[in-house]
């Protein structure tokens, strides 16, 4: 990626000066963006990076003169085209949006209207703003679909959003943003919801098309490695303030601020791999399991073992059957053939037929802590419930034990025990879920994408906590994830799944040491690296491989 050094004033497309945005919450206005300056040059891609709550999306939307409901611009200027967007009328802004500045949202599935065909939504802005006529707009749409490497570009636009895959939808959204050839596109985490192997293709398409039209972009992401591939320049944001700003290569080579360095260091955390016992009976054995929903077969002949005190990571893309495997082990889904053995004994397929003592030994932690805990109960009730249910403890005992667990998951017991989940952050809620799983005193915990919804630093904290708990209590984990970095950090054994089958299985060292099995290689090599030349490199290698 070319690094642009031209800071000539003529080239400045968008200039934000001392922008302040406040959000309304609990009858008070809180400042979300606290005086940020930003300059975007023609044809430049500026990366905005930070954790959730850093104000990067708010800033991105503000570049379009847009504030979410309950937010307002309280100060500063947004200069574009000799206008101050912070002071423009709604009608003036409307005429800019979609034409001069366009937006690509995180979840394409939610951001396309389910009731209309893709191409009708694509051409809508061009027709409504009078930029183009219908025939021309449709022809251009098909051209864009082709430029973005979408399959069957002639006809894919006739489909409804639910009829195309997530990766294709994200490309269709990028195409839609391009419809009126805007000067600026705001990309708001466009690949966060995608699998790594899909992400790499979407990233390549986005970059190619942005380069082709010389479009300037604000590229918002929490993933440094992704931003490194896309951006010429990076701004690191935290708590609504700028932490550090530099050209991509410079920032990657020598981050100056401590916070930026900590973002870099996240990926360095790693446990020591524990050797697999040779003779011991496995704690959990999944033996030749096939399962599905109705006539739809999901799992086919899945087998693997989990030994005591070990972490087995199941990795694969969405739809590979990871979570279905977890449902079979926990008894929520009865396998059509095959069985699950616990300490060498076969378990009934249906959890209702398993004894309570057995249920106690296998606990689950879910991806989204918000939906996994009852918002109307206090933390004490949530964690205390398994103690009463499985162990029949009295109230006083329960309260004491809940406090012990809260201390264990690093939440101040007296401060949190009587609170409700809504007062907690995402990472804190996940800690509550961990404490609840531990309250049953299990031998085996299934962690289903437990860090996927969390910021990198918070996720790292959770991984460290889980590791410490394993060392202390000797529990085994089945760690379901799509994230290669997480697997690299904590797995003892790795099971790679693809389309309902186990395609690779071995110790962490064996899996991560080349030569890889073909699909494992695709998965591992698709994980973005901090090197800004990584995307070009991997695309080049793959092109060579397919050509030769």
Partner 1 sequence: MLSIIRLLSQRVALGLLSLFAVSVIIFLAVEMLPGDLAEAMLGQSATADTVAAFRAQLGLDQPPLQRFIGWMGGILQGDFGVSLANGREIGELVSTRLGNTLRLAGLAALISVPVAVLLGMLAALYRNSWFDRMLNTTALSTVSFPEFFVAYILILVFSVQLGWLPSIANITPEDSWLTVLERSMLPVITLSLVVIAQMMRMTRAALINLLSSPYIEMARLKGIKKSRIIYYHALPNALAPIITVVALNLAYLVVGVVVVEVVFVYPGLGQLLVDSVAKRDIPVVQACSLIFAVTYIALNTSADVLAIATDPRLMHPRS
Closest approach, Cβ 188 to partner 1, in A, equals 10
Tell me the residue ranges of DSSP E strands in 209-329.
Answer: 216-221, 233-238, 241-247, 284-293, 296-306, 311-315
Tell me the two tokens of residue 1.
């990626």
Name which of 33 and 61 has its Cβ closer to partner 1: 61
How far apart are alpha carbons 173 and 168 in whole angstroms?
A: 9
Contact criterion met (CB below 8 Å) for 3 and 17:
no
Residues of span 157-196 touching partner 1 by CB under 8 A? 159-160, 162-163, 176
Q: How many residues bind partner 1 (CB under 8 A)?
A: 32
Name which of 96 and 379 has its Cβ closer to partner 1: 96
Q: Applying CB under 8 A, does 103 fall inside the site for partner 1?
A: yes
How far apart are alpha carbons 379 and 126 in whole angstroms?
A: 52
Q: Applying CB under 8 A, does 435 fall inside the site for partner 1?
A: no
Tell me the two tokens of residue 90.
């709604």
* Residue 276: CA count within 13 A, CB half-sphere: 20
Closest approach, Cβ 452 to partner 1, in A, equals 19
- In the list 1, 17, 74, 111, the residue contacting partner 1 (rule: CB under 8 A) is 111
Q: Applying CB under 8 A, does 105 fall inside the site for partner 1?
A: yes
Name which of 179 and 424 has its Cβ closer to partner 1: 179
The closest of 528, 502, 514 to 312, measured between CA atoms, is 502
Tell me the two tokens of residue 84.
């101050």
Which whole-number Å values give the CA distances from 530 to 116, 227, 231, 265, 446, in the listed order?
39, 9, 12, 11, 30
Contact string (CB under 8 A) for partner 1, positions 74-93, x = contact: -------------------x
Task: Give buried/exposed letters for 119-146 (b at 16+ CB in 10 A, else e).
Answer: bbbbbbbbbebebbeeeebbebbbebbe
| Binding window for partner 1 (CB under 8 A); candidates: 34-42, 109-117, 427-435, 494-502 | 109-117
Residue 159 CA, chain-centre distance (Å), reads 26
Name which of 57 and 323 has its Cβ closer to partner 1: 57
| Binding window for partner 1 (CB under 8 A); candidates: 26-34, 60-68, 74-82, 337-345 | 60-68
| Binding window for partner 1 (CB under 8 A); candidates: 19-27, 40-48, 100-108, 451-459 | 100-108
Q: Applying CB under 8 A, does 297 fall inside the site for partner 1?
A: no
Name which of 122 and 393 has its Cβ closer to partner 1: 122
Tell me the two tokens of residue 144.
């864009």
- In the list 114, 130, 392, 514, the residue contacting partner 1 (rule: CB under 8 A) is 114
How far apart are alpha carbons 445 and 480 in whole angstroms?
A: 11
How far apart are alpha carbons 293 and 213 in whole angstroms?
A: 46
Q: Applying CB under 8 A, does 98 fall inside the site for partner 1?
A: yes
- In the list 24, 87, 116, 400, the residue contacting partner 1 (rule: CB under 8 A) is 116
Q: Which residues bind partner 1 (CB under 8 A)?
A: 61, 64, 66, 68-69, 93-99, 102-103, 105, 107, 110-116, 124-125, 128-129, 159-160, 162-163, 176
């Amino acid at each position: 990626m070319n690094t642009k050094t031209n800071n000539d004033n003529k080239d400045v497309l968008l200039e934000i000066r001392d922008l302040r945005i406040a959000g309304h919450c609990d009858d008070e206005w809180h400042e979300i963006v606290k005086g940020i300056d930003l300059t975007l040059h023609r044809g430049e891609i500026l990366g905005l990076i930070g954790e959730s709550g850093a104000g990067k999306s708010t800033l991105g939307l503000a570049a379009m003169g847009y504030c979410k409901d309950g937010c307002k611009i309280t100060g500063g200027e947004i200069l574009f085209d000799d206008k101050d967007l912070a002071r423009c009328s709604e009608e003036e802004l409307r005429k800019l949006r979609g034409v001069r500045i366009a937006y690509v949202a995180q979840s394409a599935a939610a951001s396309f209207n389910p009731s209309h065909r893709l191409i009708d939504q694509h051409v809508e802005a061009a027709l409504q703003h009078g930029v183009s006529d219908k025939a021309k707009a449709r022809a251009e749409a098909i051209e864009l679909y082709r430029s973005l490497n979408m399959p069957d570009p002639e006809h894919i636009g006739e489909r409804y959003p639910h009829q195309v895959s997530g990766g294709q939808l994200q490309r269709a959204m990028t195409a839609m943003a391009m419809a009126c050839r805007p000067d600026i596109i705001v990309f708001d985490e466009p690949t966060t919801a995608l699998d790594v192997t899909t992400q790499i293709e979407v990233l390549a398409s986005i970059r190619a098309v942005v380069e082709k039209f010389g479009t300037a972009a604000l590229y918002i992401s929490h993933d440094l490695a992704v931003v490194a591939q896309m951006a010429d320049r990076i701004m690191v944001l935290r708590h609504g303030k700028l932490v550090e700003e530099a050209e991509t290569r410079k920032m990657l080579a020598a981050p100056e601020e401590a916070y930026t360095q900590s973002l870099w260091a996240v990926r360095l955390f790693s446990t020591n791999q524990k050797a697999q016992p040779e003779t011991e009976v496995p704690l959990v054995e999944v033996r030749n399991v096939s399962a599905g929903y109705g006539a739809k077969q999901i799992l086919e002949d899945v087998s693997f073992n989990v030994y005591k005190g070990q972490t087995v990571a199941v990795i694969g893309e969405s739809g590979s059957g990871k979570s279905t495997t977890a449902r079979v082990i926990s008894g929520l889904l009865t396998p059509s053939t095959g069985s699950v053995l616990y300490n060498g004994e076969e378990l009934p397929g249906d959890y209702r037929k398993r004894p309570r003592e057995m249920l106690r030994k296998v606990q689950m932690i879910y991806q989204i802590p918000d939906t996994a805990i009852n918002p109307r109960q206090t933390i004490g009730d949530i964690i205390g419930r398994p103690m009463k249910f499985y162990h029949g403890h009295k109230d006083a005992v329960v309260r004491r034990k809940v406090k012990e667990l809260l201390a264990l998951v690093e939440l101040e017991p007296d401060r949190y025990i009587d609170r409700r989940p809504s007062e907690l952050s995402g990472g804190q809620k996940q800690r509550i879920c961990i404490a609840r799983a531990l309250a049953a005193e299990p031998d085996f915990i299934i962690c289903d994408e437990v860090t996927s919804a969390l910021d990198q630093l918070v996720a790292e904290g959770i991984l460290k906590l889980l590791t410490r708990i394993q060392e202390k209590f000797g529990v085994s984990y089945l760690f379901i994830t799509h994230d290669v970095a997480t697997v690299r950090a904590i797995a003892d054994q790795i099971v790679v799944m693809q389309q309902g089958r186990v395609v690779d299985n071995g110790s962490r060292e064996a899996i991560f040491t080349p030569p890889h099995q073909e699909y494992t290689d695709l998965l591992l090599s698709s994980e973005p690296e901090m090197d800004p030349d990584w995307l070009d490199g991997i695309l080049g290698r793959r092109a060579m491989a397919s050509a030769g």
